[in-house]
A and B are shown apart, each in its own frame.
Chain A
């Protein structure tokens, strides 16, 4: 059992604080498989988001894996894999 699970709701909170929300995007909607690009988040927004997740959870995400995570589901899976290994 992983010690904690990183959830979509937590990601929503971090995204809002780190990078805000694009006009016309409903972050509370069904976004789990929507690309970050379509949600209006460019690489710097995701870097800031990842940085906050890392320091909140005491983990260090692999940069290449981070760049490869194109959707909320992929990023959440990546974070949870790190939490499970921690």
Chain B
């Protein structure tokens, strides 16, 4: 019998909140953080809206030694790692150093840092490029810096698979826990709201070019026209059930119960997309039936063809309009690798509180057989929730999270 992987700590860095409870309250209230880009002058670009994190001053959270060597995404991830361990009631220094690993996902690395150094290179010359550019831009830098900050010497890696990576990293963390590492901090934080990151994302052709924040990112709506990028993500402390029980973990948000990933066939091959297989694989891995899933947190691309594929996959697995579907990322924009970990956090909070957060702004299309939760949160007794994430190029990942029943803790 393989060990169960529990989530015992959460931290979020979202445009709608920098603490778990602030984010959750905003999410249930349907508060959007999508607005005009303020981090740089986007007025001359085709896309001009973003989900920005405001009110994060890195110097309030990190020593000055780390500031010159870190991109914004790393600063958010480092602060997030502090919050996640605190939320789990864990002081990493008190555990054997090889007992904790760190496995994050990354979409594009430290873009803003890289942009600044490239600008220095071509405007002033190579002597003006920071020595820290050597690693500060790199995909693995969040894992590396978290490892150094907390003295973690367990399995450490990065997964790069666009938005699907947020689930793929957590799945990799679960593999390491099954192999014997007691604890892994996982998830992802992405932030590339800078001109270089922006033009890179524009090449996907999937960014919304609308200016009305309420009509810009409309998944599963007949008016869907691409997504709004955002920044942030979430970090989760994953732990073997035995380790959590032995140390008397104060919180258990639930279990990473099932996971599967697929790659779509080449476009034009005539073969079916494989998202359905990923969902069925995740259910089978969790040992649950479609009827056991109380809610689906959708990938919600807001590109009509991709919405159709996702809606059909969900309807085929669960039956037409047979499971509540939601996309709280309509409030934050798509956070790339950070999106799915944030959805996982929301899924665990949904399990805890028995409530499904809403999808905002959309009028569900009649073309899709989906029961979308819109307007207001919906109360529901939840035991299992499915999270879906897709990456550019046909990457599909699906993860089932499940509530964990624990005996009431003794009175202290």
Residues of A within 8 A of B (CB): 16-23, 40, 44-45, 47-48, 51, 54-55
Contact = CB atoms under 8 A, between A and B. Distances in A.
A22 B68 contact: no
Interface string B59-90: 00001111111000000000000000000000
Contacts of B66: 20
Nearest to A21: B64
Minimum-distance CB pairs A-B, first 9: A20-B64, A48-B131, A20-B65, A47-B131, A55-B127, A23-B63, A22-B65, A21-B64, A44-B131
A80 to B, nearest CB: 20
B134 interface: yes
Contact of A20 (B68, B127, B131, B134): B68
B130 interface: yes
Contacts of A20: 63-68
Interface of B: 63-69, 127-128, 130-132, 134
A44 B132 CA distance: 7
A70 B127 CA distance: 23
Contacts of B63: 20-23
A25 to B, nearest CB: 9
Given A20-B63, A22-B63, A23-B63, A51 B131 contact: yes
Given A22-B63, A44-B132, A44-B134, A17 B127 contact: no
Contacts of A55: 127-128
Contacts of B130: 48
28 contacts: A16-B64, A17-B68, A18-B68, A19-B68, A19-B69, A20-B63, A20-B64, A20-B65, A20-B66, A20-B67, A20-B68, A21-B63, A21-B64, A21-B65, A22-B63, A40-B65, A44-B69, A44-B134, A45-B131, A47-B131, A48-B68, A48-B130, A48-B131, A48-B132, A51-B131, A54-B127, A55-B127, A55-B128
A81 B85 CA distance: 49
A84 B117 CA distance: 31
Nearest to A18: B68
Nearest to B129: A51
Contacts of A47: 131
Given A20-B65, A20-B66, 8 more contacts: A17-B68, A21-B63, A21-B64, A23-B63, A23-B65, A48-B130, A48-B131, A51-B127
A17 B68 CA distance: 8
Contacts of B127: 51, 54-55
Contacts of A48: 68, 130-132
B60 to A, nearest CB: 14
Nearest to A49: B131
Contacts of A45: 131
B65 A19 contact: yes
Contacts of A44: 69, 131-132, 134
